[in-house]
Amino acid sequence: THAHSHDALRPADAPVHPPVSETHPYEDQDPKNMPPDLGYGCKMVDGVVHVYTRRSPATELDLPYPDLQEYIADMSIMMALIINGPVKSFCYRRLQYLSSKFQMHILLNEMKELAAQKKVPHRDFYNIRKVDTHIHASSCMNQKHLLRFIKRAMKKYPEEIVHVEKGKGQTLSEVFESMSLTAFDLSVDTLDVHADRNTFHRFDKFNAKYNPIGESILREIFIKTDNHIEGKYFGHIIKEVMEDLEESKYQNAELRLSIYGRSRDEWDSLAKWAVRHGVYSDNVRWLIQVPRLFDVYHTKKQLANFQEMLENIFLPLFEVTVDPRSHPELHLFLQHVVGFDSVDDESKPEHHIFNLDSPLPADWTEEDNPPYSYYLYYTYANMTVLNHLRRRRGFDTFVLRPHCGEAGPIHHLVSGFMLSQNISHGLLLRKAPVLQYLYYLAQVSIAMSPLSNNSLFLSYHRNPLPEYLSRGLMVSLSTDDPLQFHFTKVSGLPGFTRVCCVPVVAPSVPHGCGVPRSIQKGLEAVKSHWLGPAYTREGQEGNDIRRTNVPDIRVAYRCETLCEELQLITQAVHSAELDPIAEEDSLSMMPLPGAS
């Protein structure tokens, strides 16, 4: 993959430490020290928040967002493009050409690349910078870690009331007594959170694995932020995971926390949990995942329409941006949130096709769930308006990084390509050559999790990650759910050599938004500290093997190959002198492997 990584300009073997905040970022909770109220009001119209001045409600701020009609029209064009016969043939052959060209590169340069890596002092796979850009907070610990934590809690807090059942409080010891279990009885096997072959194509069984010992009450007590003990245990175990990351120094993670959209106070509850328990690390940033469960909440009468769900998710964010003093904990928490994720079982059937006849969010009162593209558009549209507003205030902005292309229809990947900064999984690109080629040309980052896919949708030996890597797609490795897949800290990844592993991991740094940063210095300053001031340059000029452990030969190859492909496409688009070329002629004009 095309990767840039450097540390600061210093001797190659010198230890490098990220900048550290002088004070804890959650210490200054006094609203008086926060930015003042701007005097704006917010209202949602047709599923998108509009901002106006309170003195003149008719005067709206010019905060543009993607037009719904244009989005649907572009999506229709994309859908037509990916089924067009000549385009499919062209893209398929270009991808085959990229695979063959990479094999030629390996034959010619593999030994040179290995020799270049061996010459680098100090740096190896273990001490290059890595960001796990796809990992869920509720399963970020491994099984042995959770088991030890539960045993410690049973010994340390046996008489603490952790649950209320029918108005009566239950202590931790009483909860386990009701299950006829003691600390001595517990083991990894009785915990039963490992995703085995029974979870393959069974997302329901996989979700059930989040319940230790199969008991939902233990999930509520130990891995929830909002419970009777105010998320105390979950906060403690997350902090232990953070300490492990800080100890390893080179590993970082973007942990996903959930906002469901069932009520307006979810954001405040989540932020108070983080601030109350001091759940923060320079090695961790938060990503907010929104489960696509409107149909479930609507059936339970918790939501009247889809717009109500959108209001619960976004209006608190606009309120705290306009007046940070209205939600002081949330203002502090959002400084460490990097983006949003849309998550659920993609294989669920979708009974509705998103088009101009689709109901607006306020009118979506159907029992059926809105389609994936509907969720993604309204999430992105509101994020765009919010980012405009936050940028005006000098606050951090957010990106969209959804689960996409793990299963389900192909239009998920079309929506992801149009709206997302990067995606998680992307397995179905292997069946869509046009989209795969577009993802390559645009270098849309794809966080892939082969061990997760192996337990859910695609066996390990069929995973397309090696194929994507050989063609030059921007792929990175992520763990997804260590609790379900890793018994201990280390989980093997067979089939990858030393030279292959580094390029797969390295893109997580420049394309991960959550690399450690201090509030004062900002994200770009820390990227520059880690990756060097030239990390944004293309090709060899931006690479320093002393920092990345990626050979210059590999970086140059990736950059030159991508530039050639882009040139091929742009020349064809801009050349008005060319007559229409038959499909066979266009395919025969492709350069041979190794041709410049």
Q: How far is CA 486 from the centre of its chain?
A: 20
Asked if 34 and 322 touch (Cβ cutoff 8 Å), the reply is no
Look at phi and psi of residue 413 and say left if phi exceeds 0, alpha if psi is from -120 to 50, else beta.
alpha
Q: Are 470 and 442 in contact (CB under 8 A)?
A: no
- Of 136, 145, 412, 425, the active-site residue reads 425
Active site residue 122: no
Whole-number Å distance between alpha carbons of 153 and 233: 8
According to DSSP, residue 199 is labeled: G
SS (H, E, C) 504-558: HHCCHHHHCCCCCCCCCCHHHHHHHHHHCCCCCCCHHHHCCHHHHCCCHHHHHHH
Q: Report the 10 Å Cβ neighbour count for 125.
A: 16
What b-and-e string marks burial along 228-253, b requiring 16 or more CB atoms within 10 Å of the CB? Answer: bbebbbbbebbbebbebbbeeebbbb
Q: Which of 452, 137, 117 is nearest to 279 (CA)?
A: 137
Task: Answer for the pair 145, 242: CB distance below 8 angstroms, yes or no.
Answer: no
Q: How many CB atoms lie within 10 A of CB 437?
A: 25
The answer to whether residues 65 and 314 touch, using CB atoms and an 8 Å cutoff, is no
DSSP state of 461: G
Token pair for residue 533?
A: 């001031």
CA distances from 338 to 48, 126, 383, 558 (A): 21, 25, 12, 28
d(CA 575, CA 64): 33
Q: Are 484 and 229 in contact (CB under 8 A)?
A: no
In DSSP notation, 330-392 reads HHHHHTTEEEEEEES-TTS------STTSPPGGG---SSPPPHHHHHHHHHHHHHHHHHHHHH
Contact 262, 295 (CB under 8 A): no
Q: Which residues contact 161 (CB under 8 A, 6 or more apart)?
A: 169, 170, 171, 228, 229
CB 382 within 8 A of CB 49: yes
CA distance 211 to 223: 9
Could you report how far apart the first and last alpha carbons of the chain are, in Å? 19
With contact defined as beta carbons under 8 Å apart, do 51 and 38 qualify? no
Instruction: List, in sequence order, every residue forming a beta bridge with 573; answer none if it has no partner.
Output: none
Q: Which run of H or E residues covers position 72?
A: helix 68-82
Burial 334-349 (b: 16+ CB within 10 A, else e): bebbbbbbbbbbbeee
Residue numbers annotated as active site: 425
